Structure 1
């Protein structure tokens, strides 16, 4: 299917909706031809070739379909959609507990951004961080005992912290003047991958460049993983810990989903399309990646099969559907 559209791309982090932690670049493009051959509705996904299988499980994701960002869930074929947060305030991000019984998110319903936990059905929202500063982007550790997050409580720029699941025993892991975001855990719980915004001079102009780093959970043994032009972020370890998926820019400055080895080698462009692609997350079996794809006019949740590279669109509701996170397998 070929669709001719005329539009202007906008950096999602530059809009007035709540994506303060994601750093992108404004890239105007007018008169672009969109060739979307794999844009299949979710009802066709269940009829996918048996050789490829069908993605199973449940995804949490964000959407503005009810007027503001809310946390929703849906089946991995795009069906059984449910609004969990149902609040007039910002409710953003999501991270499942290892047993799939709870979800972390952050919200400004108390006047500033705080980290919340709720039951998997959206009930019993509880403020865990309770701090006058802004706390963002919580991520549950694989053993279920610790939460990584970012905060500006000790610095104008955000730093990475960890705390117990009841909000106690807060410890700061990074100590610098640089902006950091999106901490996520390795499957063995021994490392955290995160994004650090570096300042660089390009043709006598100071620019910012996001790169992926990894560190031990005590903040030691930092290692830089990516050395690429453009902003790389959203790193997620594969279930077996051998790969990391992330988003970044290709040679044409378009955002794509990439994978690489856990040591930063063998970077591969998975999506390789003309849409903007962000926020990857692995299926529990490691066969699929869910991600955000679209333009400033419309962002949707997609999945890509890693063996066949076939893509399937799960959402169609205007205007933003994004940041999918797979629920862990139920034991």
Structure 2
């Protein structure tokens, strides 16, 4: 999404001096940037050197040297990639981020974590039950999720420290305790509870203490997600008859319906660039759509033969992670914020659902 790579057949030379390349050779074939890299191995270590040149201005704009163990090669490359993106855009890249998702490859719905592109998958929960809705804390060190691990109760809300492995029960109130979403400052959680019989959204602290009841309608209110500034939440409600997307102002309590196209809209996610993605049913299947928080500029990003659901934004707001059964079982896909370059990143047994992107 960042680069359009020039085919090697167009190169005027295949030999490049990493410290002083002939930039006119690259300007002649229409290149804007030249990225040159070299490496050497030292026993079990590797040293990588990368330089980025602005071809138009004929100058080096970045130089980076990294040394590490060969077994860390993938991580080293991703760190360098992040530096390249930061040099060009001013914001860090996504290459060292993680994703969490639910998979039933063991026969049970458990939570797994992997690199952003689906590599290095690691199982996180081992409840042999149903575990849903993983959500990273704003610092990326904790994971919030709901689980049916206790067969005598409904879903309860847990918090897991990803560094120590310690688990903490947050909410096990009567009824459901699902869909926890972190506030941007990491101090509070929005969650759906049915302690009064009807599923409503509540605000609680990270110890599970209820701070405020946010919704009070007869319908089902669920799937809350905070705005980037933490002043609003977007959520799903069937108060109008079918599930639709609404926005709740945390300061005034005012609520407004956001979506009017599609008979079933769910799974809202609010990006750092102030755009809302959601699963929309327009033609019988779910697709991924995006919309502005004021209800304008609704765009349909996918149109596959299957269902595309549960969108989740990358921390920089440039990419969307989602799950789709377009090839049979549900697998994870990544695309750009405008719907281009839809790429499958998992090929596991069973279904991979409910994805979440780390900071």
Return closer, same or farther for 1:125/1:154 CA change in 2, 3 Å cut-off.
same
Match of 1:221 among 242, 250, 254: 254
Residue 347 (structure 2) aligns with: 316
The partner residue of 1:232 within 265, 269, 276 is 265
Equivalent residues of 1:290, 1:304 under 8 A apart = yes
Task: Return the alpha-carbon distance in structure 1 between the equivalents of residues 209 and 116 of structure 2.
Answer: 34
Change (3 A) 1:308 1:211: closer
Equivalent residue in structure 2 for 1:247, among 259, 279, 282: 279
Matched residue, 1:146: 188
Give 1:210's match in structure 2, choosing from 239, 243, 250. 243
Partner residue in 2 for 1:101: 141
Rate the CA distance shift 1:77–1:192 in 2: closer, same or farther, 3 A. same
Aligned residue for 2:47?
A: none
Taking structure 2 as the reference length, what is the TM-score of the superposition? 0.71
Tell me: CA distance 1:136–1:61, structure 2 relative to 1, closer, same or farther (3 Å).
same
Distance 1:308 1:103 in 2: 28
Secondary structure (helix, strand or coil) at the match of 1:291 reads strand
Q: Is this contact kept in 2: 1:55–1:77, CA < 8 A?
A: no
2-structure distance, mates of 1:254, 1:89: 28
Larger Rg belongs to: 2
Query: What whole-Å deviation, never above 9, does each CA across 1:61-98 have from its counterpart, x for those lacking one?
Result: 11001111111101111101000011112211111111
Q: Distance in 2 between matches of 1:219 and 1:233?
A: 24
Residue 83 (structure 1) aligned with residue 123 (structure 2)? yes
Q: Secondary structure of the residue that 1:290 maps to in structure 2? A: strand
The answer for unaligned runs of 5 or more in structure 2 is: 1-77, 79-83
CA, structure 1 residues 218+135, in 2 after alignment: closer, same or farther (shift >3 Å)? Answer: farther
Structure possessing the higher relative contact order (Cα contacts under 8 Å, 6 or more residues apart):
1
Shift of 1:121: 5.1
Distance 1:209 1:308, change over 3 A: closer
CA spacing shift, 1:84–1:121, aligned 2, 3 Å: farther
TM-score, normalised to structure 1, is 0.76
Provide the aligned C-alpha RMSD in A: 2.2
Partner in structure 1 of residue 29 of structure 2: none
Q: CA deviation at 1:193?
A: 0.3
Stretches of structure 1 that go unaligned for 5 or more consecutive residues are: 1-45, 200-207
Q: Is the 8 Å Cα contact of residues 231 and 251 (structure 2) preserved in structure 1?
A: no
Pairing 1:287–2:327 present: no
Q: Pick from 167, 179, 199: which aligns with 1:125?
A: 167
Aligned equivalents of 1:237 and 1:80: distance in 2? 27
Residues 249 and 184 (structure 1), Cα distance of their counterparts in 2 relative to 1, 3 Å cut: same
Is 2:236 the counterpart of 1:191? Answer: no
The structural deviation recorded for 1:216 is 1.6
- Contact 1:209–1:229 (CA<8 Å) still a contact in 2? no
1:132 CA displacement: 2.7
Q: Distance in 2 between matches of 1:229 and 1:281?
A: 20
Does the CA-based 8 Å contact 1:174-1:219 persist in structure 2? no
Tell me what 1:264 maps to. Answer: 295
Structure holding more helix per residue: 2
Paired residue for 1:65?
105
Q: Once the two structures are superposed, what CA deviation does each residue of 1:165-198 show, in whole Å capped at 9, x if it has no partner?
A: 1111342111121011100000110001001113
Q: 1-side partners of 2:252 and 2:127: how far apart?
A: 35
Helix, strand or coil at the partner of 1:245: strand
